[in-house]
Amino acid sequence: MLVRAGDEGLPVGQLQEKLDIPGSTLSHHLKKLVDTGLVVQERQATTLICTTNYRDMDALVGYLVNECCADAKCGTKSKEVAA
């Protein structure tokens, strides 16, 4: 949801409403995402806005793609057989 929200992000309350989960559960997961740097929180008056840290997310996705099957042939034989 935060990725789809774009640079504006979402208030925590709206995120909780959309996900329909308890506040404590959402707080737990958001804390992990903030701790890893994938989500940034900014207080605007009494509202806590969460946004995706696209730079770090892009770096993580790039790393995962680059490491995919690094020690295996990642299905090349099945692709050759299917062709």
What pLDDT does 40 receive?
A: 97
CATH code at 28? 1.10.10.10
Q: For residue 79, count other CB atoms closer than 10 A to its CB.
A: 10
pLDDT of residue 21: 95
Please state the pTM of the whole predicted model.
Answer: 0.76
Q: Tell me 10's DSSP state.
A: E
How far is 74 from 67, CA to CA, in rounded Å?
11
Quote the number of domains for the chain: 1
Tens digits of residue pLDDT in 40-82: 999 999 999 999 999 999 999 999 999 888 888 765 554 455 5
pLDDT at residue 80, as a whole number: 52
Alpha-helical runs (H) found in the chain: 2-5, 12-19, 23-36, 54-67, 76-82
Q: Which domain holds residue 57?
A: 2-82
Residue 3 has pLDDT above 60, yes or no: yes
d(CA 73, CA 70) in angstroms, rounded, equals: 8
